[in-house]
Amino acid sequence: MDFKEFLGTGKEQLRAAGIDATDAEHLMAYALGISRMDLHNPVIVDDRLANFGDLTILEETFWKLLDARAAHQPLQYLTGVSYFRYLEIQVGPGVLVPRPESELLVQAVLDHLENATETVSVVDLGSGSGALALAISTENEKTRVIAVEKDPAAIEWLKKNVARINEQVRIVESDVVDALEGVKCDVVIANPPYVPDSQVLPRDVAEHEPAVALFGGPTGLDIPGRFIDTATRLLKPGGFFAIEHTEDQGDAIAALLAKNFLNIITHRDLTARPRYTTAIRGKE
């Protein structure tokens, strides 16, 4: 087998399906059990090929992965891993793949907590895979994080990631509306389902990722509104809130926050789109 030719054929298959050809490198690296960076090291690749035994097994594995990716199954579902900040988050069918935009949401919380000298209570509403909760908990040792999630499929992935990365994160299986009655906290972070019901999404997302984690109602604001209500209830006066949204929802989110929050700021992502908002809980 000519390895480069073999990999090149895989890239062509993905290009023909309208998918980034570099995904073939990720899939080949996964099939070989090495990193994508190692895939460009001939010594490492030759060693792996030599130790693989029957190369027909590798070929069959690679082609199955390519066929699945060409059918628009998410790359992260096929490899089982999504890279989020400094973490490897396990993902698969039933849970939303963490997005780069959400890394900025986490950074906003970490920046707010940079000078914290005492333990800080953080609640992650609609935690999904646990990416946000685990990133905060592992990057700031002063935090005590609660991850709230209601969907059974997502909870399975959340439990796997918490068990593997930081067992100190507490999981609460509950709808956001009813979660943590009587509890008060210092920070709430939320990446709610905010996509308008009528919005057309890429095939990878629309056909494979869970609709319950994506769609927020006719305008996309129904469920974010519920998350804001819960954040209002949970946060102590002066508490910090960070919520993700679409680039068109900043003004509407600010309006929902205006009654109970101060210092409402809409922030832009790395492509200069307004994608998340932070605010401070006012006095009750």
Helix (H) / strand (E) element for 122: namely strand 120-125
Give the pair of three-digit tokens for residue 161. 């990631």
**Quick one: how far is CA 44 from the chain centroid?**
31
Q: Please tell me the pTM assigned to this model.
A: 0.91
Cβ neighbours, 10 Å, residue 80: 12
Helix (H) / strand (E) element for 131: namely helix 131-139
CA–CA separation, 87 and 114 (whole Å) = 20
Q: CATH assignment of 93-281?
A: 3.40.50.150
Helices H, strands E: what count in the chain?
A: 11, 9
Tens place of pLDDT per residue across the chain (284 aa): 577 888 889 999 999 999 999 999 999 999 988 888 888 888 888 888 887 767 788 888 999 999 999 999 999 999 999 999 999 999 999 999 999 989 999 999 999 999 888 999 999 999 999 999 999 999 999 999 999 999 999 999 999 999 999 999 999 999 999 999 999 999 999 999 999 999 999 999 999 999 999 999 999 999 999 999 999 999 999 999 999 999 999 999 999 999 999 999 999 988 889 999 999 999 87
Decide if 41 contacts 48 (C-beta within 8 A). Answer: no
β-strand partners of 100: none
